[in-house]
């Protein structure tokens, strides 16, 4: 089987095409205005189910990327701080070993992948996820997009069924698309040739996506910054989402 | 010499048969009423479960990040209850405690039924229950395998090992009793008991083999029981969740299980005592002995709980302090107080008195309160750590819905149904062991001294 694939010039997911790549995301908090554009883009790109105010209030919304708002100071001298939080695609992801059925695992290119068909819904991964960025499908998918919203679903992304977990994929469908494109055109993928939906829609250029193992990529340059930090770094989860923030406030 | 347990002259063989086998053959209207009530509760719970499967998990009060709630609390609680039956029976058999004889059967059955109930909760709480078999390492065309690094897989294997061991451990010592039943029964029941008795004739060789089997099984099942509760604790201990991630959970869960399980053993034997008029078999002497074991369990349980408590308080790790505070000053304060009251502050001093331990009513009420307290303890392990973990933006509260409360009553009804049905299948006091005791307790005069005629086992 493997021979047949290489004869045709195709490559497997964990094979040569993944080698030497480590996807990462940089979030420049000094630029974030908390507009929520990334959240909308993510909903449109990844077929995120819509939850009403009641379900959102109950913690059953789907926000693969969410903007957390924290208040600084005392009234009237208040300052809002925004931090977009998405799956940190940890290199030592605590959600992975606890899954009894391998529904979530690490790919060779550093993605924390989710196999929806494999998931039986123990929800252990979300318990062991310190960032609370895993989302469970409480409802029938048909209820999530009342007509005519079902017509705008992205055909490149699976609609998840009831009872499975889901989470940010770093827009893996875009990664695969551009890999194919580069292969057909017989070239290597360029840095910045494509980006995730959230990064694409961010008007303040807060989010920058790229290959951390490519020394010339924009993310590689940015993570050298001394404004760099990672969320809950002391837990040793080794996230590949790097936040940038300088000074106070 | 203490209390006389079984004055043998009062127990002719026919009397024992009469007393102990009667519930198997005689069915009263009370039994039917109890079966109707608990069977109704069981069916209602089953219907609720299917309703949740058909509509989705949103009918529960679970939400992000409280992914485990009452379902898992109930699971841990019922796994805990399943501990003591087999464990107490195995410990007493191995230590050759003769007073164990009237209580082993009831205790062993309790383990099997509590475990059958507990094993349903991991299924109930699954998002896609119908695909539960993905967790089994079964051979399949797609060459998919389960993840042996996950504590849930260890859990599944521990439940299966413990269930298998406990069923065998319940069945083997019942074989001679099935033979007695076979000899007394008629019609379809005779056929059933003939099958269960496996052709038991009571030859010397059969007895030797049986005793060897029971003792070696007792020896094997004890470590399985300990591993079962340790592995359940690892569902929590192996995670990064504040106040779950602690190494004390292994022994703490084992002793907690022994504590609540002992309480249920006492509750059950007291109900049997009243229901079947077994006052002369299950005596205050047994309550005293079991009460002492429970007292030790209560002391060790409190000791381990306090260890966990004081370490979290003294360490003041930011994440742990948040959870610690909501347990001790926040919304879970009254739950914690109720637990401490019933499990330690009231239970410990009361159990210290022999007068209390030997009083059936007092023990009945206390053991029920202990189990309410232990249920709360499981709730306090599972829920508070989840409501305020991770970024404070996502913190919530947890309010179980009627579905979860129904499925909290469901195991109680299911357990009662199983137990009531079992009453009709096997004598809940081991007939042959009581008779063996009678022989073993017989004394012989040697000059001035009175000696035991037979050395037990």
- What are the structural domain ranges in chain A? 21-244
pLDDT of residue A167: 95
Among A155, A19, A32, A149, smallest CA distance to A86 is for: A32
Chain-chain contact of B57 with A235 (C-beta, under 8 angstroms) = no
Neighbours of A117 (CB within 10 A): 12
Q: In whole angstroms, what is the distance from residue B293 CA to residue B276 CA?
A: 25
Neighbours of B76 (CB within 10 A): 27
pLDDT of residue B52: 95
pLDDT score of A48 more than 70: yes
pLDDT of residue B274: 92
φ, ψ of residue A32 to 5 degrees: the values are -70, 130
The interface pTM score, or ipTM, of the predicted complex is: 0.88
Chain-chain contact of A163 with B128 (C-beta, under 8 angstroms) = yes
Strands B443-446 and B449-452: antiparallel
With respect to residue B28, please indicate whether it lies within any of the assigned structural domains. Answer: no
Contacts of B416 (CB under 8 A, 6+ apart): B34, B38, B41
Neighbours of A18 (CB within 10 A): 18
Q: Which residues of A touch B240 (CB under 8 A)?
A: 94, 128, 130, 235, 237
φ, ψ of residue A85 to 5 degrees: the values are -120, 125
Q: In whole angstroms, what is the distance from residue A50 CA to residue A62 CA?
A: 7
List residues of chain A with CB under 8 Å from any CB of chain B. 55, 58-60, 66, 68-70, 85, 94, 97-102, 118-124, 126-132, 134-140, 161-165, 235, 237
Which tokens sit at B371? 């189990």
B126 at interface of A, judged by CB pairs closer than 8 A: yes
pLDDT of residue A18: 47
pLDDT 10s digits, B7-51 = 444 567 777 888 888 888 888 899 999 999 999 999 999 999 999
Among A200, A132, A176, A161, smallest CA distance to A47 is for: A161
Q: Are B265 and B84 contacting, i.e. CB atoms less than 8 angstroms apart?
A: yes
CATH number at residue B76: 1.20.1630.10
Structure-token match 């010039």, residue found: A9
Q: What number of helices (H) and strands (E) belong to chain B?
A: 18, 2
φ, ψ of residue A243 to 5 degrees: the values are -100, 145
pLDDT of residue B434: 82
pLDDT 10s digits, B390-444 = 899 999 999 999 999 999 999 999 999 999 999 999 999 888 888 877 776 666 6
Among A65, A71, A70, smallest CA distance to A84 is for: A65
Q: Are A101 and A118 contacting, i.e. CB atoms less than 8 angstroms apart?
A: yes
Q: Which residues of A touch B57 (CB under 8 A)?
A: 121, 136, 138, 162-163
> CA torsion sign, B159 to B160 to B161 to B164?
positive
B104-118 vs B70-94: helix crossing angle, rounded to 10: 150
Among A237, A114, A105, A102, smallest CA distance to B148 is for: A102
Among B49, B114, B19, smallest CA distance to B417 is for: B114
Neighbours of A107 (CB within 10 A): 15
pLDDT of residue B452: 65
Residue from B54, B67, B393 whose CB has the most chain A CBs within 10 Å, to mutate: B67
Give the mean pLDDT of B71-94. 92
Residue of chain B with shortest Cα separation from A93:
B240
Chain-chain contact of A128 with B394 (C-beta, under 8 angstroms) = no
Determine the CATH number of domain A21-244.
3.30.70.20
- B38/chain A closest Cα distance in angstroms: 29
High-pLDDT (> 70) share of chain B, %:
95
Q: In whole angstroms, what is the distance from residue B220 CA to residue B108 CA?
A: 15
Neighbours of A57 (CB within 10 A): 12
Between A23-32, A144-153, B59-68, B203-212, the lowest mean confidence (pLDDT) is in A144-153
Concatenate the DSSP letters of all residues of A30-76 into one string: TT-----HHHHHHHHHTTPPP--HHHHHTT----SEEEEEEEESSTT
pLDDT score of B106 more than 70: yes
Among B152, B148, B150, B162, smallest CA distance to B227 is for: B162
- Number of folded domains in chain B? 1
Q: Identify the burial level of B252 via C-beta atoms within 10 angstroms of its C-beta, where 0-12 means exposed, 13-18 middle and 19 or more buried.
A: buried
SS3 content of chain A, % helix, strand, coil (to 5): 25, 15, 55
With respect to residue B134, please indicate whether it lies within any of the assigned structural domains. Answer: yes
Give the mean pLDDT of B292-313. 94
Q: Which residues of A touch B151 (CB under 8 A)?
A: 98, 124
The 8-class DSSP code of residue B344 comes to I
pLDDT score of A147 more than 90: no
Map A153-199 to HEC letters: CCCCCCCCCCCCEECCCCCHHHHHHHHHHHHHCCCCCCCCCCCCHHH
Concatenate the DSSP letters of all residues of B410-424 into one string: HHHHHHHHHHHHHHT
Cross-strand partners of B450: B445
Domain range for B351: 65-395
């Amino acid at each position: 089987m493997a021979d047949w694939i290489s004869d045709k010039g195709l490559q497997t997911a964990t094979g040569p095409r993944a080698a030497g790549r480590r996807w990462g995301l940089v979030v420049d908090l000094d630029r974030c205005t908390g507009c929520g554009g990334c959240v909308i883009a993510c909903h449109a790109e990844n077929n995120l189910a819509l939850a009403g105010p009641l379900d959102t209030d109950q913690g059953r919304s789907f926000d693969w990327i969410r903007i957390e708002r924290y208040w600084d100071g005392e009234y009237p001298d208040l300052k809002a701080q925004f931090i977009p939080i998405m799956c940190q695609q940890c290199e030592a992801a605590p959600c992975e070993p606890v899954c009894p059925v391998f529904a979530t695992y690490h790919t060779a290119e550093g993605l924390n992948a989710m196999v929806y068909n494999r998931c039986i819904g123990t929800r252990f991964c979300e318990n062991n996820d310190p960032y609370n960025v895993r989302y469970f499908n409480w409802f029938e998918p048909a209820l999530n997009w009342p007509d005519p919203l079902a017509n705008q679903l992205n055909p490149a992304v699976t609609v998840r069924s009831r009872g499975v977990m889901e989470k940010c994929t770093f827009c893996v469908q875009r990664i695969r698309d551009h890999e194919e494109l580069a292969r057909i055109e017989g070239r290597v993928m360029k840095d910045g040739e494509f980006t995730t939906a959230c990064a694409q829609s961010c008007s303040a250029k807060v989010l920058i996506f790229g290959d951390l193992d490519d020394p010339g990529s924009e993310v590689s340059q940015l993570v050298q910054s001394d404004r760099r930090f990672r969320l809950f770094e002391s837990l040793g989860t080794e996230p590949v989402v790097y936040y940038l923030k300088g000074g106070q406030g | 010499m203490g209390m006389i347990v079984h004055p043998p002259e009062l127990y002719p063989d026919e009397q024992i048969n009469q007393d102990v086998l009667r519930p198997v053959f005689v069915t009263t209207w009370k039994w039917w009423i109890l079966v109707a009530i608990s069977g109704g509760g069981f069916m209602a719970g089953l219907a609720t479960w299917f309703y949740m499967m058909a509509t989705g998990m949103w009918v529960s009060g679970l939400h992000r990040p409280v992914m485990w709630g009452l379902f898992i609390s109930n699971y841990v609680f019922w796994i805990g209850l399943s501990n003591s039956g087999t464990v107490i029976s195995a410990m007493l058999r191995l230590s050759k405690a003769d007073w164990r004889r009237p209580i082993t059967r009831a205790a062993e059955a309790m383990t099997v039924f509590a475990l059958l109930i507990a094993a349903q909760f991991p299924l109930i709480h699954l998002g896609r229950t119908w695909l539960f078999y993905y967790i089994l390492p079964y051979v399949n065309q797609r060459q998919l395998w389960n993840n042996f690094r996950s504590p849930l897989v260890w859990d599944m294997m521990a439940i299966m090992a413990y269930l298998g061991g406990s069923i065998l451990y319940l069945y083997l010592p019942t074989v001679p009793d099935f033979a007695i039943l076979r000899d007394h029964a008629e019609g379809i029941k005779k056929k059933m008991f003939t099958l269960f008795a496996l052709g038991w004739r009571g030859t010397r060789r059969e007895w030797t083999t049986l005793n060897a089997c029971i003792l070696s099984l007792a020896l094997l099942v004890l470590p399985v029981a300990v591993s079962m509760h340790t592995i359940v604790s690892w569902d929590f201990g192996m995670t990064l969740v504040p106040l779950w991630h602690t190494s004390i959970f292994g022994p703490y869960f084992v002793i907690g299980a022994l504590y609540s399980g002992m309480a249920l053993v006492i509750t059950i034997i007291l109900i049997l005592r009243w229901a079947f008029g077994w006052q002369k078999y299950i005596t205050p002497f047994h309550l005293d002995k079991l009460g002492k074991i429970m007292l030790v369990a209560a002391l060790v349980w409190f000791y381990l709980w306090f260890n966990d408590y004081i370490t979290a308080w003294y360490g003041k790790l930011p994440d742990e302090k948040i959870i610690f505070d909501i347990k001790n000053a926040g919304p879970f304060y009254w739950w914690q107080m109720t637990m401490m009251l019933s499990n330690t502050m009231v239970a410990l001093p009361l159990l210290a008195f022999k007068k209390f331990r030997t009083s059936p009513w007092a023990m009945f009420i206390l053991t029920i309160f202990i189990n309410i307290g232990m249920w709360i303890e499981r709730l306090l392990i599972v829920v508070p750590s989840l409501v305020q973990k991770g970024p404070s933006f996502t913190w919530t509260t947890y309010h179980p819905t009627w579905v979860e409360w129904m499925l909290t009553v469901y195991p109680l009804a299911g357990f009662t149904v199983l137990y009531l049905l079992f009453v009709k299948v096997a004598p809940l006091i081991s007939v042959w062991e009581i008779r063996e005791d009678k022989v073993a307790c017989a004394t012989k005069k040697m000059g001035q001294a009175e000696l035991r005629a037979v050395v037990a086992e």
